[in-house]
Amino acid sequence: MWPFNKPRASVGKKWLNGATDYHTHILPGVDDGIEDMKQAVEVLKAYERWGVRAVWLTPHVMEDCPNATSALRERFYDLTAAYQAVCGPNPVSLHLGAEYMLDACFSERLEAGDLLTVADSRHLLVETSYFSPPLMFDKLLKRISQKGYTVLLAHPERYRYMEMSDYENLRNRGVRMQLDVTSLAGEFGVESQRRACILLKKGFYDLAGSDLHSLSVFKEWINAAADKATCQLLQSLSLHKKESI
Ligand SMILES: [Fe+2]
């Protein structure tokens, strides 16, 4: 299936050289991602070996996982200190953001101005259920815009309730989209893979990220996600550009 041929073992790692990962669950012990500080440092050391330039730590924030911003900041400082203790001045630059589910918890944080942004001071990384849109989605998007933020929609290829016209409408309304690179290799099934290929060809993605929850799972998928043809397309994303979106 386009754009996949048989992956070559080293391509994924070459592709990561110089990249910024805008979506990870490496901040330890705060969600369903990396569990402890030691594992988190191991992931960062792997990123270092692959030549990754910068990493955004984007833990889940949702009603079922209502991480407080202050607690995330404290955990971030702990991770930065632990990483520096092992590796010296950080070869991989670390940044704190969050991945917000568009639920009641998000609406409260939005009204309180209690949000962490990604990539710059105005982009909010958000996700929705895979199967149904958020309550009053349209109204919520307007409110986010009124507050001066731009939506960066995480892994839009996973949202089964969206038709192609929905993606187009969102793009026309200024919503930015972030590809989960492992979707290209089929980590989330054939339908998400198909949608990821279409959205990538249409130029709908502004950024990419790994959505890394586990180093071993990521290693399984990354080479397959980055064969030569895909590399060329991915390099057109901001992933490899020094400037922000
Ligand atoms: Fe995520």
Note the pLDDT tens digit of each residue in 188-212. Answer: 888 998 999 899 889 899 988 999 9
Cα–ligand 1 centroid distance for 208 (angstroms): 12
pLDDT at position 8 = 39
Mean pLDDT of 241-245: 42
Indicate if the pLDDT at residue 241 is higher than 60: no
Superfamily holding 9-240: Metal-dependent hydrolases (3.20.20.140)
User: What pLDDT band is residue 171 in, cutting at 50, 70 and 90?
Assistant: very high
On whether the pTM is more than 0.85, the answer is: yes
Note the pLDDT tens digit of each residue in 83-139. Answer: 999 988 768 999 999 999 999 999 999 999 999 999 888 999 999 999 999 999 999
Cα–ligand 1 centroid distance for 125 (angstroms): 9
Cα–ligand 1 centroid distance for 140 (angstroms): 20
Closest C-alpha among 101, 40, 112 to residue 67: 101
Cα–ligand 1 centroid distance for 98 (angstroms): 9
With beta carbons less than 8 A apart as the criterion, state whether 169 and 203 touch. no
Closest C-alpha among 142, 209, 185, 146 to residue 7: 185
CA distances for 23 relative to 40, 56, 120, 207, 208, angstroms:
14, 6, 13, 10, 8
Which of 18-22, 113-117, 220-224 is least confident? 220-224
Mean pLDDT of 131-151: 96
Strand order in the sheet with 93-96: 20-21, 54-57, 93-96
Indicate if the pLDDT at residue 18 is higher than 60: yes
Q: Which range has highest mean pLDDT (52-56, 142-146, 188-192, 220-224)? A: 142-146
What residue spans define the domains of the chain?
9-240
